[in-house]
């Protein structure tokens, strides 16, 4: 038995100890100053919370999370969404929180605050979202899980939705995460192996309004937390494998033949979902075509810098520099699914968001552009 297995066996013994009925563990979860990573800490409360508003506002040391200076460190946690805890079970909860500075203003990476305001303005459009979250599983040494330690797996082709130990790596983590999301109350709707080996995706939605960002961030937290139990790592890097195959004349390395990772976002309004909604879909695409740069800046935490590595016009991506749209075309910025084109209603898929995007920013800008004309 490995040392990690011994630790887990010991932990299980303590988790089986009876928990007082009036004592509930609540894990407060928040997005840190990177805009990508999550943090958490636990508070005991003396009641079973039914809504996040029942829970107290808490605080943390923002100087340790890139969210405050050392001489003014308190940052406040405002509970906004409540989930069942799949790790501690019972009545224990996981609480998604917004972060606020000493002056009561949102921190720089609290994009939920403005997203909620936009969703309130656009609520009569009943915006629905579904996000396809791609990610890559790594060994504890940061090497892609299941890849040869010296060399590379065979070319892409057999891995997408594959079956068999020579085609998929990490299914145990993916299955555990899926069930944890269902237990917690995340609206997870599917999962599959992606095109690059050790790369997977899960889908969350359809969710209306602010729920999309809440559930996707919680699903990410659960993924990282479940990966701990398998001694594995997860990266949301949009282009995790960038292999230098030769030097070009300009001196730049040519990327290897591996797909990147996105967070393809399916979007619709009530009008798009109704008969002849294709007209609304086409009007939305026209609006999106006029705000390409704004959307690119909102679609990864570094205002397009991460997506520059991914949106190259190959590996089922569009060019970051150009806007395009088409039916059933995965090399476009916007794809209209074939069945939606045939039914003349449904939704559009924005394929530009990077895997490490903030879903609050993505959904906010879609509603601003397509519904509010802002």
Over residues 97-151, the pLDDT tens digits come to: 999 999 999 999 999 999 999 999 999 999 999 999 999 999 999 999 999 988 8
| Segments of the chain assigned to CATH 3.30.590.10 | 119-372
Task: Check: CB of residue 107 under 8 Å from CB of residue 75.
Answer: yes
Looking at residues 246-275, what average pLDDT do you find? 76
pLDDT surpasses 60 at 166:
yes
Looking at residues 15-33, what average pLDDT do you find? 96
pLDDT surpasses 60 at 58:
yes
Distance, in Å, from the CA atom of 345 to the CA atom of 137, rounded to the nearest integer, reads 36
pLDDT at position 255, please? 43
Identify the three-state secondary structure at position 355: coil
Identify the three-state secondary structure at position 17: coil
φ, ψ of residue 79 to 5 degrees: the values are: -60, 135
CATH fold label, 119-372: Creatine Kinase; Chain A, domain 2 (3.30.590)
pLDDT at position 316, please? 87
φ, ψ of residue 47 to 5 degrees: the values are: -155, 165
Identify the three-state secondary structure at position 373: coil
Per-residue 3-state assignment (H helix, E strand, C coil) for 64-103: HCCCCECCECEEEEEEEEEEECCCCCCCCEEEEEEEECCC
| Interior/surface letters 71-80, b for 16+ CB within 10 angstroms, e for the rest | eebebbbbbb
CA-to-CA dists, residue 163 to 67, 121, 352, 355, angstroms: 43, 45, 28, 24
User: What's the pLDDT band for 292 if we cut at 50, 70, 90?
Assistant: very high
| Segments of the chain assigned to CATH 3.10.20.70 | 22-110
Q: Considering only the top CATH level, what class is 22-110?
A: alpha beta
């Amino acid at each position: 038995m490995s040392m990690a297995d011994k630790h887990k066996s010991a932990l299980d013994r303590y988790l089986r100890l009876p928990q007082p009925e009036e004592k509930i563990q609540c894990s407060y979860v928040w997005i840190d100053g990177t805009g990508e990573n999550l943090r958490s800490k636990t508070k005991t409360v003396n009641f079973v919370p039914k809504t996040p508003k029942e829970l107290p506002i808490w605080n943390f040391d923002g100087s340790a999370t890139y969210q405050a200076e050392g001489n003014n460190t308190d940052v406040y946690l405002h509970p906004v969404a409540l989930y069942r805890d799949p790790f501690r079970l019972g009545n224990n909860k996981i609480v998604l929180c917004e972060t606020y500075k000493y002056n009561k203003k949102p921190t720089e990476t609290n994009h939920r605050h403005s997203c909620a305001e936009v969703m309130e303005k656009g609520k009569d459009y009943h915006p629905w979202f579904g996000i396809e979250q791609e990610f890559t599983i790594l060994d504890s040494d940061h090497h892609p899980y299941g890849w040869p330690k010296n060399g590379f797996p065979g070319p892409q082709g057999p891995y997408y939705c594959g079956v068999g130990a020579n085609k998929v790596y990490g299914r145990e983590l993916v299955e555990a995460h899926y069930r944890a999301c269902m237990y917690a109350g995340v609206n997870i709707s599917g999962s599959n192996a992606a095109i690059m080996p050790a790369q997977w995706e899960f889908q969350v939605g359809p969710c209306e309004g602010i729920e999309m960002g809440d559930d996707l961030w919680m699903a990410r937290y659960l993924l990282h937390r479940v990966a701990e139990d398998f001694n594995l790592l997860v990266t949301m890097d949009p282009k995790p494998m960038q292999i230098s195959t030769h030097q070009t004349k300009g001196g730049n390395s040519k990327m290897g033949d591996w797909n990147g990772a996105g967070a393809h976002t399916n979007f619709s309004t009530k009008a798009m979902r109704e008969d002849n909604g294709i007209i609304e879909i086409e009007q939305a695409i026209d609006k999106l075509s006029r705000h390409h740069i704004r959307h690119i800046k909102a679609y990864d935490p570094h205002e397009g810098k991460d997506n520059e590595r991914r949106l190259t016009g190959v590996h089922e991506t569009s060019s970051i520099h150009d806007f395009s749209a088409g039916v059933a075309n995965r090399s476009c910025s916007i794809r209209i699914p074939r069945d939606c084109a045939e039914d003349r209603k449904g939704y559009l898929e924005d394929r530009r968001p990077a895997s490490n995007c903030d879903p609050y920013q993505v959904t906010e800008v879609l509603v601003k552009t397509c519904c509010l004309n802002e």
